[in-house]
Structure 1
Amino acid sequence: MKIHHRPVKADDIKTICGLPQGAQELFYMFPKAQYPLTESQMADAIAQRFDSTIFEADNRVVGFANFYRAEPGGTCCIGNVIVAPQARCKGVASFIVETMTALAFDRYDASEVQLSCFNGNTAGLLLYPKLGFQPFAIEERASPEGDRLALIHMTRRRAG
């Protein structure tokens, strides 16, 4: 699968809204959103974030991500990561995270890249350390149902 990326366009928003397959996936992708994800929720998030990026393969959207913080020379934080259901377990998530990490280091001259992952997101917890991210803090959060969750914050520092 040959994947490429580009900046998000307004007509991508409806497609992005269809990527989370249920309330739990939406919570992992975008904890502040209400299920189902609406175009206005997604458009508002994109307007407040940096480098919202679409990932495509075979002329189909296979993923999305952005930065919720982008400090030149400092820290960039990757957020809203989602992989399309038909593209899962095919290396798309790795491509997304590696692409966004390179963008942070190249465009923002970031010293580190951070991301966060809820304890129930086993796929993310297994992937991110393979890509060089190390846990540095755990924050207690509540699920939409009020259950206690752990949000694991991870970082990857610029090499050298």
Structure 2
Amino acid sequence: MPTALQHRPAIAADLDEVISFPQSAEELFFCYPKAAWPLDVGQLAAAMAERRESTVVTLDGKVAGFANFYQWQHGEFCALGNLMVAPWARGQGVAQYLLEVLEGIARDQYKAPVMKVSCFNANTGGLLLYTRLGYRPAAIVERRASDGARIALVQLEKSL
């Protein structure tokens, strides 16, 4: 993993960069299903306002990743949301680093013994990443894609 990876809380000035990360309506659906394509600062700011621990990862000083908790229950669990990686930074350990950072926050600040993630069945990269990092399927629930098609949401968990 590059030593150039660092993290910090996300700030309003990061949003212009982060909204450029999803490269298609499908990618946006994977990381923020309620958002409308194309992602804009208002939508992301609204998500940040109702979520916790919005965090960015920088690679060589440039914002390269973003994620937060969309659910949290102190002493019980945290659920990862809005995981996005800049196209230029993909395949360089950004998502793994970001997950490790948020797992640490969940464990240390929220005393959460479990981290939860949800990943759509069509998001092969996400499913492979999560399982490689120790997440195990806990449930599969039916959801609807933006075109109304049936889609499976795989809910995964990892003991912290």
TM over 0.5: yes
Once residues 82 and 152 of structure 1 are traced to their aligned partners in structure 2, the CA distance between those partners, rounded to angstroms, is 18
Once residues 147 and 96 of structure 2 are traced to their aligned partners in structure 1, the CA distance between those partners, rounded to angstroms, is 30
Once residues 25 and 133 of structure 2 are traced to their aligned partners in structure 1, the CA distance between those partners, rounded to angstroms, is 27
Once residues 62 and 16 of structure 1 are traced to their aligned partners in structure 2, the CA distance between those partners, rounded to angstroms, is 8
Offset at residue 97 of structure 1 (A): 1.1
Structure 1 unmatched ranges of 5 or more: none
Q: Secondary structure at the match of 1:138?
A: strand
Residues matched between the structures, number? 158
Moved over 2 A (4+): none
Match of 1:149 in 2: 151
Once residues 146 and 153 of structure 2 are traced to their aligned partners in structure 1, the CA distance between those partners, rounded to angstroms, is 14
Match of 2:86 in 1: 84
Output the TM-score relative to the length of structure 1: 0.96
Offset at residue 110 of structure 1 (A): 0.2
Q: Is the contact between residue 98 and residue 131 of structure 1 (CA under 8 Å) also seen in structure 2?
A: no
Once residues 101 and 131 of structure 1 are traced to their aligned partners in structure 2, the CA distance between those partners, rounded to angstroms, is 11
**CA deviation digits over 1:28-48, x for unaligned, max 9?**
010000000011111000000
Output the TM-score relative to the length of structure 2: 0.96
Which of 133, 136, 141 pairs up with 1:134? 136
Once residues 65 and 151 of structure 1 are traced to their aligned partners in structure 2, the CA distance between those partners, rounded to angstroms, is 18
Structure 2 unmatched ranges of 5 or more: none
Which of 6, 9, 15 pairs up with 2:8? 6
Q: Percent identity?
A: 44
Once residues 58 and 3 of structure 1 are traced to their aligned partners in structure 2, the CA distance between those partners, rounded to angstroms, is 7
Offset at residue 92 of structure 1 (A): 1.2
Match of 2:114 in 1: 112
Q: Secondary structure at the match of 1:69?
A: strand
Offset at residue 99 of structure 1 (A): 1.2
Question: What are the residue-to-residue correspondences of 1:1-150 with 2, within 5 Å?
Answer: 1=2, 2-150=4-152
Letter in 2 for 1:124: G
Q: Secondary structure at the match of 1:140?
A: strand
